[in-house]
A and B are shown apart, each in its own frame.
Chain A
Amino acid sequence: MDPLRHSPSPSSSRASSPRTLSCERLGYVGIEAVLDQLKIKAMKMGFEFNIMVVGQSGLGKSTMVNTLFKSKIWKSTMPGLRVPMPQTLQLHSVTHVIEENGVKLKLTVTDTPGFGDQINNDKCWDPILGYINEQYERYLQEEILITRQRHIPDTRVHCCIYFVPPTGHCLRPLDLEFLQRLCRAVNVVPVIARADSLTIEEREAFRHRIQDDLKTHSIEVYPQKSFDEDVNDKILNSKIRERIPFAVVGADREHMVNGRCVLGRKTKWGIIEGHFPCLSWLGGCEQSHA
């Protein structure tokens, strides 16, 4: 047992923090009850999560979002319907409150129709950056008020999912420009859209090429290496980093497979089941942003 030593810190002003000492415990005090208190408080307050999806039209953004949260957040645009192509880049936000097992989540999804759809896509990331910075500005203004609100509404974008078209080659100049600019302002998660158009080998090769591209251009996507706090984080994050960018398939139709009801895409040659990495690391986005 460690001998009890104490270091009296100087009086009257700040208690010196680093000189703390561990004491011998003689019985149960009940400090760990604070964890439950925290949980209760968190559940009462609810969580806020803001996602932005960026990508060209037709890559399956809306479908993906619907699949991710297993609800009809967007009306996905059906092929065949004459949807007028937006002439300018717009940002649409939709907010929903979803609840699961007592946990309330206020989810805001911001879509960017018109991104990368024009012939000249120069500076098409400016409105997006502007929007992100505007949310930061709003939060800052609330924070530096004299009489602050108890809970400042958080509209800052926590995560930006970027859809990479499945060319199978490498990242396009538009992708690189966008990723470079945005990775400094927001957590960017690149995703290979419509991955069912690539075979597994093509997918792996594409993935590796994208990883190389990201490294060459020093684009730090989520989870960022610089935010790794300890060894456990590092291990977990490096596992995730190997799999980035995730290859996803969006599916919001249900089909019967072997007696089970699954979400999938039915094609002539089979049914592709939707599979998603667990949402736990998305929650990490929210925290690392704080």
Chain B
Amino acid sequence: MAVAVGRPSNEELRNLSLSGHVGFDSLPDQLVNKSTSQGFCFNILCVGETGIGKSTLMDTLFNTKFESDPATHNEPGVRLKARSYELQESNVRLKLTIVDTVGFGDQINKDDSYKPIVEYIDAQFEAYLQEELKIKRSLFNYHDTRIHACLYFIAPTGHSLKSLDLVTMKKLDSKVNIIPIIAKADTIAKNELHKFKSKIMSELVSNGVQIYQFPTDEETVAEINATMSVHLPFAVVGSTEEVKIGNKMAKARQYPWGVVQVENENHCDFVKLREMLIRVNMEDLREQTHTRHYELYRRCKLEEMGFKDTDPDSKPFSLQETYEAKRNEFLGELQKKEEEMRQMFVMRVKEKEAELKEAEKELHEKFDLLKRTHQEEKKKVEDKKKELEEEVNNFQKKKAAAQLLQSQAQQSGAQQTKKDKDKKNSSIVRGSQSGMSFSISRLTIARASMDPLNCRSWLQAIQ
């Protein structure tokens, strides 16, 4: 039986009218319920000099005491400290992460101040990309650590932006949503503030820094966003202490000359910041991070790795093919390296082997030499031994012969014993001497007996 898959017919999007209530208008509610049960993630990065009021502002914004120790001014470099908190309001759970730049603006040489910040942001993107590229991934449960909003704290000099600020913001604008704010705004007078704000905005525009634009495409929020954007950068004052004003307690800063109320719109733009950041645009900030900044990072990263969407001939390239090609290339390289290593190994082994052989040969030679020497010595010793034995034998023979003669001589000399007694007595004295001479005479007798025709030797012997 032949089965043919009929291609689905062209979809003409027709608007259909319903004749009754179906019920899918509850879909947004389902979506919202699902998100609520999962919880939300929001990550804020606070960039600003030490002591400019970052921690205080965070405390004020979220109405809690985040309890951090103020940083010293002695940091050798900029480092980022991230802290996560879980806040709950009615049924909404928010996983808030606040990242602080510790030591920003404290060093003498601030050339590299922006680098740790950029690295941190990239690291978070990288982590997300890794999770997305995994084979078995769980993006649903992934704790998103990408920075959704960057609050840039501008020092309230009243003049213009510092060059450090410009450089840092330029580096960050393509990676994160920047919201510039003027910190410690209670030190600027009202007229100065206006000039300061316009100066900052014009500087940002002229340097091409892309700060976060509040979205104005939806009717519900367009109006409020448009009015708020006029007040950028927001001049804020942060305070967690409460001061009695009228008959209420309000967050404020008490000075000898008056009280600056945080939530009073005439005093500072804190309320505007809170509206914009949390109540109106939190979701948009997250979406922008994902669809604009993250996609840009991902595109750059993948292109860097060599993946392309289209061939040089602009034929669509499938990622799969590129993967395969890369993989084969990589494997080929690995194989080549392996071959190289193997060859080097073999060569080394050969060399070593040759060396060892040489050494062995030398040893053998030495051994032979020694052996030969040993043999020679042995032979010499044996020869000497033989000689000695011969001499000993000779000596024994001569001794025996001498003894025989002596005994004969004794018999002939027995008759003259009396005469010889004295001689003997005197010879006893001279015994030792003559003992010696006797033995010598024995020898000479022996010699003489060997040489009987030699009269002289006999003479010697008789004496």
CB of B8 within 8 A of chain A?
A: yes
Which residues, 216 to 231 on A, are CB-close (under 8 Å) to B? 229-230
Is the Cβ of A100 less than 8 Å from the Cβ of B25?
yes
Which B54-91 residues have a C-beta within 8 angstroms of A? 61-68, 79-91
- B8/A110 in contact, CB under 8 A: yes
Q: Is the interface of B mostly helix, strand, loop or mixed?
A: mixed
Contact A97 B15 (CB under 8 A): yes
Check A97–B13 contact: CB distance below 8 A.
Answer: yes
Nearest CB of chain B from residue A113's CB, rounded to whole Å: 9
B81 to chain A, nearest CB (A): 5
Interface flags, B40-66, vs A, CB<8A=1, else 0: 100100000000000000000111111
The yes or no answer to B267 lying at the interface (CB within 8 A) is: no
Interface residues of B in 211-263 (CB under 8 A from A): 218, 220-221
**Known contacts A26-B64, A70-B18, A103-B25: does B86 contact A33 (CB below 8 Å)?**
no
Pick from A22, A103, A110, A283: contact of B85, CB under 8 Å: A22
Contacts known (A70-B20, A290-B140); A20 close to B32, Cβ less than 8 A: no
- The answer to whether B302 and A146 have CB atoms under 8 Å apart is yes
B204 contacts partner chain A, Cβ-Cβ < 8 Å: no
Q: CB-CB < 8 A to A43: which residues of B?
A: 28
B435 touches A (CB below 8 Å)? no
- B79: chain A residues within 8 A (beta carbon): 11-12
* Chain A binding surface, main DSSP class: loop
Residue of B nearest to A112 (CB): B6
B123 contacts the other chain (Cβ, under 8 Å)? yes
**In the complex the two chains form, is A24's CB within 8 Å of B319's CB?**
no
Q: Is the CB of A31 within 8 A of B34?
A: no
Q: Known contacts A29-B89, A37-B281, A287-B34; is A100 also within 8 Å of B13 by CB? A: no
Question: Which residues of A in the span 151-182 have a Cβ within 8 Å of any Cβ on B?
Answer: none
Contacting pair A12 B80 (CB below 8 A): yes
Convert B288-302 into 0s and 1s, putting 1 for each residue whose CB lies closer than 8 angstroms to a CB of A: 000100010011001
Which of these, A12, A37, A121, contacts B282 with CB under 8 Å?
A37
Cβ-defined contact, B11 with A25, below 8 A: no
Instruction: Provide the residues of chain B in CB contact with A97, threshold 8 Å.
Output: 13-16
Chain A residue nearest to B2 in the complex (CB): A88
- Determine whether B192 belongs to the interface, using a CB cutoff of 8 Å to chain A: no
Q: Is there a chain B Cβ closer than 8 Å to A89's Cβ?
A: yes
**How far, in angstroms, from A96 to B8 measured CA to CA in the complex?**
14
Across the interface, which residues of A come within 8 angstroms of B28, CB to CB?
A: 38-39, 42-43, 103
> Which residue from B14, B15, B27, B280 sits with its C-beta under 8 Å from A283?
B27
- The answer to whether the Cβ of A270 comes within 8 Å of any Cβ in the partner chain is no
Is A30's CB within 8 Å of the partner chain B?
A: yes
List CB contacts (< 8 Å) of A40-95 with chain B: 40-44, 47, 49, 68-73, 88-95
In the complex, which range does the number of interface residues on chain B fall in?
A: 35 or more
Given known contacts A71-B19, A127-B5, A108 and B66 CB-to-CB distance under 8 angstroms: no
Q: Considering only CB atoms, which chain A residue lies closest to B29 in the complex?
A: A39
Question: Cβ of B143: which chain A residues have Cβ within 8 Å of it?
Answer: 17
Residue pair B88, A141 in contact (C-beta under 8 Å): no
B contact residues around A39 at 8 Å (CB): 28-29, 31-32
**Is B329 in the interface zone, CB < 8 Å from A?**
no
- A280 interface hit (Cβ, 8 Å): yes
Q: Beta-carbon contacts of B106-141 to A below 8 Å, as 1s and 0s?
A: 000000000010011001100100000000000010
Contact residue among A11, A30, A150, A278 (Cβ-Cβ distance under 8 Å from B279): A30
How far is B85's CA from A19's CA once the two chains are assembled, in angstroms? Answer: 8
Q: Which of A2-10, A193-201, A241-249 contacts B (4 or more CB under 8 A)?
A: A2-10
18 contacting pairs across A/B (C-beta < 8 A): A6-B68, A15-B99, A31-B87, A32-B89, A32-B90, A33-B280, A35-B92, A37-B281, A37-B284, A70-B20, A73-B16, A92-B8, A95-B14, A98-B18, A99-B15, A101-B25, A279-B23, A287-B31
Closest 10 CB pairs of A and B: A90-B6, A93-B8, A15-B82, A95-B11, A37-B283, A101-B25, A17-B143, A23-B64, A30-B279, A33-B279
New A-B pairs, 8, CB < 8 Å, besides A147-B309, A150-B291 = A23-B62, A26-B65, A33-B279, A34-B278, A41-B283, A88-B6, A94-B11, A96-B14
Hey, which bits of chain A sit against chain B, CB under 8 A? 4, 6, 8-9, 11-17, 19-35, 37-44, 47, 49, 68-73, 88-103, 105-106, 108, 110, 118, 120-124, 126-127, 130-131, 141, 144-148, 150, 229-230, 278-280, 282-284, 286-287, 290
